[in-house]
Amino acid sequence: MKNIFLSASVPLPERHPKYYDTADIIAIRDAVIALASLVLGKHRIIWGGHPSITPLINFVIERSIQYRLDKELYGLSSEEQKEFLFNEIKKEIQNHVTIYQSLFFKDKFPEDNEKFENIVFTEDKGDIPSSVQFMRVEMLSKNEFAAAVFIGGMNGIEDEYKMFKKYHPEALILPIASTGAATKIVYDNLFPEEMKNDRFLKDYGYMSLFQKFLMDKI
């Protein structure tokens, strides 16, 4: 099982218009759901717990659990057996996701956090920039990553792209520029020309995109 770093968020309207005005919110959500749908059960997604992304990952987890239950419950008669199977499937799928969260935001954690078993809490450094920076360093320096996927987002996407390149220079990087916002800025200005591909800009069939450029390559 390999680790895949997800850097993503839905831009907020009160932030810099260069992010919000170019964001394709439907594409951001579709891309995150497609990525999680392909990766869960095979590899592990690690992300910084942005409140616009965590509920989407949880949606895929719950859907995956239900799909497995529908397949495997046949023939089980007792409620005890069914509950055991549910817990085993949930535990297995939860092993494929890890959230990093700074304790600076402990009073603002999204409710969906409670549905995840693998959360790494990092130290509150007293202010947002220092706390977020520390969380990112812990997340990116203490895990081995085979790949990173960048979707939508704001200035944090640009910061995390540079940091990921520093800690994992040989890893696969996919900036999904069709989702707009900060990822499009990264694609245009930071992503190497020889790595660019029109499908990152124009292909909204994210399942096939991730299968070809991520799953088939790691």
Q: Please report the pLDDT score of residue 216 as a whole number.
A: 96
Listing DSSP states for 67-112 in one string gives: HHHHHH-TT--SHHHHHHHHHHHHHHHHTTEEEEEEGGGTTS--GG
pLDDT at 86 over 80: no
Please report, rounded to a whole number, the percentage of residues in the chain having pLDDT higher than 90: 73
Q: Please report the pLDDT score of residue 75 as a whole number.
A: 59
pLDDT at 58 over 80: yes
pLDDT band at 73 (very low <50, low <70, confident <90, very high): low
pLDDT digits (tens, 9 = 90+) for 135-158: 999 999 999 999 999 999 999 999
Q: Please report the pLDDT score of residue 93 as a whole number.
A: 86
Q: Calculate the average pLDDT of the chain.
A: 92
Question: Dihedral of the CA atoms 143, 149, 153, 154 (nearest 10)?
Answer: 60
Please, what is the Cα angle at 62 between 218 and 33, to 5 degrees? 45
CB 6 within 8 A of CB 46: yes
pLDDT digits (tens, 9 = 90+) for 4-54: 999 999 998 887 888 989 999 999 999 999 999 999 989 999 999 888 999
What six digits make up the tokens of 64? Answer: 């995956």
pLDDT digits (tens, 9 = 90+) for 165-207: 999 999 999 999 999 999 999 999 999 999 999 999 999 999 9
Please report, rounded to a whole number, the percentage of residues in the chain having pLDDT higher than 70: 96
Alpha-carbon distance of 160 to 174, in angstroms, equals 13
Alpha-carbon distance of 151 to 207, in angstroms, equals 14
Q: Please report the pLDDT score of residue 76 as a whole number.
A: 59
